[in-house]
């Protein structure tokens, strides 16, 4: 892939990631504005945890974007997906690291702001991405990459990071 092509792919990936982040960030912020409707108040001592989670999540997302652009020659958008199968970088440890990173950023914001409603949005993101991964992404990846993806799926957990498992252990 030429340098110009790589830069163009990186620009698209950054645009899509920014749009995705802006949407969910806006939802979390709007939810936070409605915290008074909930009788739940998060304790103030959890704010530093949120401050720590946000940069960790952002670093995971950036690592995923770089991996998609450099190794996969594509973006995280389903309509502009990587051309090569990606099972390295953060994807070596878990099948959905970008979604986990986004969750950590949103959950971190919610904890930092002491917002129960924003925390619900963060868990909503996790629920939506789980359904999207199971119902769309995984079948599409299996059709597109066949045995490579099936082997990866058997070795790599969907949501809980960990070292790759040995082949033949089909635990999700």
The model's pLDDT over 67-118, given as tens digits with 9 standing for 90+, comes to 999 998 888 888 888 899 999 999 999 999 999 999 999 999 999 999 999 9
Q: Among candidates 32, 26, 90, which has minimal Cα distance to 60?
A: 90
Tokens of 75: 């973006």
d(CA 171, CA 45) in angstroms, rounded, equals 36
> For the chain, which domains are there?
3-155 (1.20.120.1630)
d(CA 92, CA 150) in angstroms, rounded, equals 14
Q: What is the pTM of this model?
A: 0.90
What are 141-159's pLDDT values in tens digits? Answer: 999 999 999 999 999 999 9
Tokens of 101: 């990173």
Tokens of 35: 């915290």
Residues 72 and 7 sit within 8 Å (Cβ to Cβ): no
């Amino acid at each position: 892939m030429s340098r110009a092509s790589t830069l163009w792919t990186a620009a698209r990936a950054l645009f899509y990631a920014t749009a995705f982040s802006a949407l969910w960030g806006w939802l979390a912020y709007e939810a936070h504005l409605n915290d008074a409707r909930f009788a739940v108040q998060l304790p103030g001592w959890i704010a530093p945890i949120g401050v720590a989670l946000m940069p960790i999540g952002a670093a995971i997302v950036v690592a995923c974007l770089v991996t998609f652009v450099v190794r996969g020659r594509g973006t995280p958008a389903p309509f502009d997906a990587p051309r090569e199968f990606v099972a390295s970088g953060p994807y070596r440890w878990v099948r959905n690291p970008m979604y986990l990173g986004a969750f950590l950023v949103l959950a971190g914001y919610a904890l930092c702001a002491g917002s129960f409603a924003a925390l619900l949005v963060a868990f909503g993101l996790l629920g939506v991405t789980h359904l999207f991964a199971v119902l769309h992404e995984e079948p599409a990846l299996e059709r597109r990459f066949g045995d490579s993806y099936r082997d990866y799926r058997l070795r790599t957990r969907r949501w809980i990071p960990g070292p790759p498992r040995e082949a033949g252990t089909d635990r999700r």
